[in-house]
Structure 1
Amino acid sequence: MKKAILTIGNTLRGDDGITSYLGKLIEGEESLDWKIFYGEDVPESQFHKIREYKPDLVVVADAMTGMKIGQVEVIDISNERDYMYSTHNLPAPILMSYLKGFCKSVLFLGLTVDLENVLEINENISKEAEITARNALKKVFEIDSIFDND
Protein backbone atom coordinates (compact mmCIF):
# COMPACT_ATOMS: atom_id res chain seq x y z
CA MET A 1 0.00 0.00 0.00
CA LYS A 2 1.36 3.41 -0.98
CA LYS A 3 1.06 6.01 1.79
CA ALA A 4 1.64 9.74 1.69
CA ILE A 5 1.39 12.69 4.01
CA LEU A 6 0.61 16.24 2.94
CA THR A 7 1.97 18.72 5.46
CA ILE A 8 0.32 22.11 5.71
CA GLY A 9 1.73 25.14 7.49
CA ASN A 10 3.80 28.25 7.11
CA THR A 11 7.35 27.50 8.28
CA LEU A 12 7.95 31.21 8.87
CA ARG A 13 5.17 31.42 11.47
CA GLY A 14 6.59 29.47 14.39
CA ASP A 15 4.46 26.52 15.47
CA ASP A 16 2.43 26.66 12.26
CA GLY A 17 5.45 24.84 10.78
CA ILE A 18 4.92 21.88 13.12
CA THR A 19 3.87 19.52 10.33
CA SER A 20 7.00 20.24 8.29
CA TYR A 21 8.93 19.19 11.38
CA LEU A 22 6.74 16.06 11.52
CA GLY A 23 7.56 15.36 7.87
CA LYS A 24 11.29 15.45 8.66
CA LEU A 25 10.73 13.07 11.60
CA ILE A 26 8.88 10.63 9.31
CA GLU A 27 11.66 10.82 6.72
CA GLY A 28 14.12 9.87 9.45
CA GLU A 29 12.25 6.66 10.27
CA GLU A 30 13.55 3.84 8.09
CA SER A 31 10.64 1.58 9.07
CA LEU A 32 8.09 4.03 7.65
CA ASP A 33 7.67 3.94 3.88
CA TRP A 34 5.73 7.18 3.42
CA LYS A 35 6.15 9.84 0.75
CA ILE A 36 6.12 13.35 2.22
CA PHE A 37 4.62 16.26 0.32
CA TYR A 38 5.46 19.62 1.88
CA GLY A 39 2.48 21.83 1.06
CA GLU A 40 3.50 24.66 3.39
CA ASP A 41 0.95 27.47 3.03
CA VAL A 42 -0.13 26.49 -0.50
CA PRO A 43 -0.85 22.74 -0.19
CA GLU A 44 -2.82 22.64 -3.41
CA SER A 45 0.51 23.18 -5.21
CA GLN A 46 1.33 19.55 -4.33
CA PHE A 47 -1.84 18.01 -5.77
CA HIS A 48 -0.33 17.20 -9.17
CA LYS A 49 2.60 15.46 -7.47
CA ILE A 50 0.27 13.49 -5.19
CA ARG A 51 -1.93 12.50 -8.13
CA GLU A 52 1.19 11.37 -10.02
CA TYR A 53 2.40 9.32 -7.02
CA LYS A 54 -1.02 7.58 -6.77
CA PRO A 55 -1.09 6.79 -3.03
CA ASP A 56 -3.76 4.56 -1.54
CA LEU A 57 -3.74 6.66 1.64
CA VAL A 58 -3.08 10.37 2.12
CA VAL A 59 -2.88 11.93 5.57
CA VAL A 60 -3.38 15.69 5.55
CA ALA A 61 -1.53 17.12 8.56
CA ASP A 62 -2.13 20.65 9.80
CA ALA A 63 -1.62 22.74 12.91
CA MET A 64 -4.88 23.64 14.58
CA THR A 65 -6.31 25.34 17.63
CA GLY A 66 -9.44 24.75 19.68
CA MET A 67 -8.40 21.64 21.58
CA LYS A 68 -5.94 21.09 24.40
CA ILE A 69 -2.49 22.31 23.33
CA GLY A 70 -0.31 19.33 22.45
CA GLN A 71 -3.24 17.10 21.49
CA VAL A 72 -2.88 15.06 18.29
CA GLU A 73 -6.02 13.63 16.73
CA VAL A 74 -7.27 12.04 13.55
CA ILE A 75 -10.41 14.08 12.95
CA ASP A 76 -13.25 13.67 10.50
CA ILE A 77 -13.64 17.15 9.02
CA SER A 78 -15.16 15.99 5.76
CA ASN A 79 -18.46 17.71 6.53
CA GLU A 80 -17.02 20.49 8.68
CA ARG A 81 -18.00 23.84 7.23
CA ASP A 82 -16.71 25.89 10.17
CA TYR A 83 -13.08 24.74 9.99
CA MET A 84 -11.61 27.97 8.71
CA TYR A 85 -8.42 28.46 10.74
CA SER A 86 -5.75 28.13 8.12
CA THR A 87 -2.72 29.79 6.63
CA HIS A 88 -3.50 28.46 3.17
CA ASN A 89 -5.91 29.48 0.47
CA LEU A 90 -8.42 26.64 0.73
CA PRO A 91 -10.00 25.23 3.91
CA ALA A 92 -8.89 21.68 4.76
CA PRO A 93 -12.31 20.07 4.08
CA ILE A 94 -12.18 21.35 0.51
CA LEU A 95 -8.59 20.13 0.08
CA MET A 96 -9.58 16.71 1.39
CA SER A 97 -12.63 16.56 -0.85
CA TYR A 98 -10.41 17.11 -3.87
CA LEU A 99 -7.89 14.47 -2.72
CA LYS A 100 -10.71 11.94 -2.26
CA GLY A 101 -11.32 12.26 -5.97
CA PHE A 102 -8.17 10.25 -6.70
CA CYS A 103 -7.09 8.65 -3.40
CA LYS A 104 -8.77 5.63 -1.82
CA SER A 105 -8.44 6.94 1.77
CA VAL A 106 -7.85 10.47 3.08
CA LEU A 107 -7.41 11.30 6.77
CA PHE A 108 -6.93 14.59 8.61
CA LEU A 109 -4.30 14.69 11.36
CA GLY A 110 -4.64 17.77 13.55
CA LEU A 111 -1.76 18.87 15.77
CA THR A 112 -2.95 21.38 18.35
CA VAL A 113 -0.65 24.33 18.94
CA ASP A 114 -0.80 27.51 20.98
CA LEU A 115 -2.28 30.24 18.80
CA GLU A 116 0.15 32.74 20.37
CA ASN A 117 3.04 30.80 18.80
CA VAL A 118 1.86 31.30 15.20
CA LEU A 119 1.15 35.02 15.16
CA GLU A 120 4.65 36.40 14.58
CA ILE A 121 7.39 35.68 12.08
CA ASN A 122 9.60 32.99 13.55
CA GLU A 123 11.43 30.20 11.71
CA ASN A 124 11.55 27.92 14.77
CA ILE A 125 8.88 25.84 16.44
CA SER A 126 8.60 25.79 20.23
CA LYS A 127 9.80 22.92 22.43
CA GLU A 128 6.13 22.25 23.15
CA ALA A 129 5.45 21.87 19.41
CA GLU A 130 8.45 19.54 19.02
CA ILE A 131 6.91 17.26 21.67
CA THR A 132 3.55 17.45 19.91
CA ALA A 133 5.19 16.50 16.60
CA ARG A 134 6.85 13.49 18.25
CA ASN A 135 3.44 12.44 19.57
CA ALA A 136 2.07 12.88 16.05
CA LEU A 137 4.84 10.58 14.80
CA LYS A 138 3.50 7.91 17.18
CA LYS A 139 0.05 8.46 15.66
CA VAL A 140 1.53 8.02 12.17
CA PHE A 141 3.00 4.68 13.31
CA GLU A 142 -0.50 3.68 14.50
CA ILE A 143 -2.04 4.71 11.18
CA ASP A 144 0.72 2.83 9.36
CA SER A 145 -0.05 -0.38 11.26
CA ILE A 146 -3.81 -0.04 10.63
CA PHE A 147 -3.36 0.46 6.90
CA ASP A 148 -0.47 -1.99 6.53
CA ASN A 149 -1.18 -4.65 3.91
CA ASP A 150 -4.65 -3.26 3.26
Structure 2
Amino acid sequence: MKKLVLTVGNELMGDDAAGPLLAKLLEKNPLSNWEVIDGGTTPENYLYRIREMRPDLVLVVDAADMNLPPGSIRLIPPEAIGEHLLMTTHNLPLTYLIRALREFVPQVYLLGIQPRDVLFGLPAFIGVKKAVATVYEKLKQGDLNFDTL
Protein backbone atom coordinates (compact mmCIF):
# COMPACT_ATOMS: atom_id res chain seq x y z
CA MET A 1 0.00 0.00 0.00
CA LYS A 2 1.39 3.40 -1.01
CA LYS A 3 0.99 5.99 1.74
CA LEU A 4 1.65 9.72 1.63
CA VAL A 5 1.82 12.42 4.28
CA LEU A 6 0.89 15.80 2.79
CA THR A 7 1.75 18.59 5.21
CA VAL A 8 0.20 22.04 5.15
CA GLY A 9 1.32 25.21 6.88
CA ASN A 10 3.61 28.19 7.10
CA GLU A 11 6.73 27.82 9.25
CA LEU A 12 6.95 31.60 9.68
CA MET A 13 3.58 31.72 11.45
CA GLY A 14 4.19 30.19 14.87
CA ASP A 15 2.22 26.99 15.37
CA ASP A 16 1.07 26.89 11.75
CA ALA A 17 4.52 25.33 11.31
CA ALA A 18 3.20 21.99 12.63
CA GLY A 19 2.87 20.52 9.13
CA PRO A 20 6.24 21.71 7.81
CA LEU A 21 7.94 20.53 11.02
CA LEU A 22 6.55 17.04 10.45
CA ALA A 23 7.68 17.13 6.81
CA LYS A 24 11.23 18.04 7.88
CA LEU A 25 11.24 15.25 10.45
CA LEU A 26 10.08 12.72 7.85
CA GLU A 27 12.64 13.96 5.33
CA LYS A 28 15.47 13.76 7.88
CA ASN A 29 14.32 10.39 9.27
CA PRO A 30 12.38 8.70 6.45
CA LEU A 31 9.91 5.96 7.19
CA SER A 32 10.02 3.09 4.71
CA ASN A 33 6.25 2.93 4.37
CA TRP A 34 5.53 6.69 3.98
CA GLU A 35 6.31 9.29 1.34
CA VAL A 36 6.10 12.96 2.28
CA ILE A 37 5.28 16.19 0.46
CA ASP A 38 5.49 19.53 2.24
CA GLY A 39 2.62 21.42 0.62
CA GLY A 40 3.36 24.63 2.52
CA THR A 41 0.60 27.19 2.08
CA THR A 42 -0.35 25.95 -1.39
CA PRO A 43 -0.84 22.19 -1.08
CA GLU A 44 -3.21 22.25 -4.04
CA ASN A 45 -0.16 22.91 -6.24
CA TYR A 46 0.93 19.32 -5.57
CA LEU A 47 -2.28 17.62 -6.71
CA TYR A 48 -0.73 16.71 -10.09
CA ARG A 49 2.28 15.13 -8.37
CA ILE A 50 0.08 13.21 -5.94
CA ARG A 51 -2.03 11.97 -8.84
CA GLU A 52 1.15 10.68 -10.54
CA MET A 53 2.26 8.96 -7.32
CA ARG A 54 -1.06 7.08 -7.12
CA PRO A 55 -1.11 6.65 -3.33
CA ASP A 56 -3.72 4.45 -1.68
CA LEU A 57 -3.81 6.67 1.39
CA VAL A 58 -3.09 10.37 1.99
CA LEU A 59 -2.80 11.82 5.47
CA VAL A 60 -3.09 15.62 5.34
CA VAL A 61 -1.52 17.20 8.43
CA ASP A 62 -2.23 20.81 9.35
CA ALA A 63 -2.66 23.13 12.31
CA ALA A 64 -6.37 23.29 13.09
CA ASP A 65 -8.25 25.35 15.62
CA MET A 66 -10.44 22.70 17.24
CA ASN A 67 -11.04 24.48 20.58
CA LEU A 68 -8.74 22.00 22.35
CA PRO A 69 -5.60 22.49 24.45
CA PRO A 70 -2.55 23.46 22.35
CA GLY A 71 -0.74 20.41 21.02
CA SER A 72 -3.87 18.24 20.89
CA ILE A 73 -4.03 15.89 17.91
CA ARG A 74 -7.28 14.82 16.25
CA LEU A 75 -8.46 13.15 13.08
CA ILE A 76 -11.07 15.44 11.59
CA PRO A 77 -13.88 13.49 9.94
CA PRO A 78 -15.03 14.67 6.51
CA GLU A 79 -18.37 15.93 7.79
CA ALA A 80 -16.61 18.07 10.41
CA ILE A 81 -14.08 19.75 8.11
CA GLY A 82 -16.42 22.56 7.17
CA GLU A 83 -17.76 22.90 10.72
CA HIS A 84 -14.43 23.67 12.39
CA LEU A 85 -12.43 26.83 11.96
CA LEU A 86 -9.22 25.62 10.35
CA MET A 87 -6.16 27.83 9.86
CA THR A 88 -6.68 30.22 6.97
CA THR A 89 -3.08 30.81 5.94
CA HIS A 90 -3.69 28.75 2.81
CA ASN A 91 -4.68 29.95 -0.63
CA LEU A 92 -7.67 27.61 -0.94
CA PRO A 93 -9.86 26.09 1.78
CA LEU A 94 -8.87 22.62 2.95
CA THR A 95 -12.34 21.40 1.99
CA TYR A 96 -11.36 21.97 -1.66
CA LEU A 97 -8.08 20.06 -1.23
CA ILE A 98 -9.71 17.11 0.54
CA ARG A 99 -12.49 16.93 -2.07
CA ALA A 100 -9.95 17.04 -4.92
CA LEU A 101 -7.80 14.31 -3.33
CA ARG A 102 -10.83 12.05 -2.84
CA GLU A 103 -11.41 12.08 -6.60
CA PHE A 104 -8.37 9.82 -7.11
CA VAL A 105 -7.15 8.62 -3.68
CA PRO A 106 -9.15 5.81 -2.00
CA GLN A 107 -8.40 6.92 1.60
CA VAL A 108 -7.90 10.56 2.61
CA TYR A 109 -7.62 11.69 6.22
CA LEU A 110 -7.14 15.13 7.77
CA LEU A 111 -5.09 15.22 10.96
CA GLY A 112 -5.29 18.46 12.94
CA ILE A 113 -2.80 19.70 15.52
CA GLN A 114 -4.22 22.37 17.82
CA PRO A 115 -2.08 25.53 17.73
CA ARG A 116 -1.53 27.95 20.60
CA ASP A 117 -0.41 30.98 18.57
CA VAL A 118 -0.43 31.61 14.85
CA LEU A 119 1.42 34.88 14.50
CA PHE A 120 4.15 35.95 12.12
CA GLY A 121 7.65 35.49 13.48
CA LEU A 122 6.79 33.39 16.53
CA PRO A 123 8.49 30.04 17.01
CA ALA A 124 6.34 26.93 17.30
CA PHE A 125 5.05 26.22 20.83
CA ILE A 126 6.78 23.30 22.60
CA GLY A 127 3.43 21.48 22.90
CA VAL A 128 2.98 21.62 19.12
CA LYS A 129 6.54 20.34 18.60
CA LYS A 130 5.79 17.43 20.95
CA ALA A 131 2.60 16.72 19.01
CA VAL A 132 4.61 16.57 15.77
CA ALA A 133 6.99 14.06 17.39
CA THR A 134 4.00 12.00 18.56
CA VAL A 135 2.54 11.93 15.04
CA TYR A 136 5.91 10.81 13.67
CA GLU A 137 6.14 7.98 16.22
CA LYS A 138 2.61 6.81 15.50
CA LEU A 139 3.33 6.78 11.75
CA LYS A 140 6.52 4.84 12.46
CA GLN A 141 4.45 2.25 14.33
CA GLY A 142 1.83 2.16 11.57
CA ASP A 143 -0.76 3.53 13.97
CA LEU A 144 -3.41 5.88 12.58
CA ASN A 145 -5.60 5.59 15.68
CA PHE A 146 -5.79 9.21 16.70
CA ASP A 147 -8.74 10.60 18.64
CA THR A 148 -11.48 11.99 16.41
CA LEU A 149 -13.54 15.12 16.86
Q: What is the TM-score normalised by the length of structure 1?
A: 0.83
| Aligned counterpart, 2:93 | 91
- Note the alpha carbon deviations across 1:7-30, whole angstroms, 9 max, x for none: 110121121011111112223444
Distance 1:23 1:80 in 2: 22
- When residues 140 and 74 of structure 1 are mapped into structure 2, their CA distance, relative to the original with a 3 A threshold, is farther
Give matches, 1:44-63, under 5 Å: 44-63=44-63
Q: Which runs of 5+ in 2 are unaligned?
A: none
Give matches, 1:15-54, under 5 Å: 15-54=15-54
The DSSP-based 3-state class of the residue aligned with 2:74 is: strand
Distance 1:125 1:79 in 2: 26
| Aligned counterpart, 1:9 | 9
Q: Pick one of 106, 109, 114 that aligns with 1:107.
A: 109
- My pick for the range that moved more, 32-41 or 100-109, is 32-41
The DSSP-based 3-state class of the residue aligned with 2:63 is: strand
CA drift of 1:143 comes to 4.7
Amino acid at match of 2:41: D
CA drift of 1:33 comes to 2.5
| Aligned counterpart, 1:130 | 129
| Aligned counterpart, 2:72 | 71
Distance 1:13 1:26 in 2: 20
Distance 2:85 2:144 in 1: 31
Q: Which runs of 5+ in 1 are unaligned?
A: none
Q: Tell me the matched-pair count.
A: 143
- Note the alpha carbon deviations across 1:26-85, whole angstroms, 9 max, x for none: 234444421111111111011111111110000011101222211111120345433343
2:142 equivalent to 1:140: no
- When residues 112 and 139 of structure 1 are mapped into structure 2, their CA distance, relative to the original with a 3 A threshold, is farther
The DSSP-based 3-state class of the residue aligned with 2:124 is: coil
Q: What is the TM-score normalised by the length of structure 2?
A: 0.84
Q: 8 Å contact 2:60–2:111 — kept in the other structure?
A: yes
- When residues 78 and 140 of structure 1 are mapped into structure 2, their CA distance, relative to the original with a 3 A threshold, is farther
- My pick for the range that moved more, 11-20 or 51-60, is 11-20
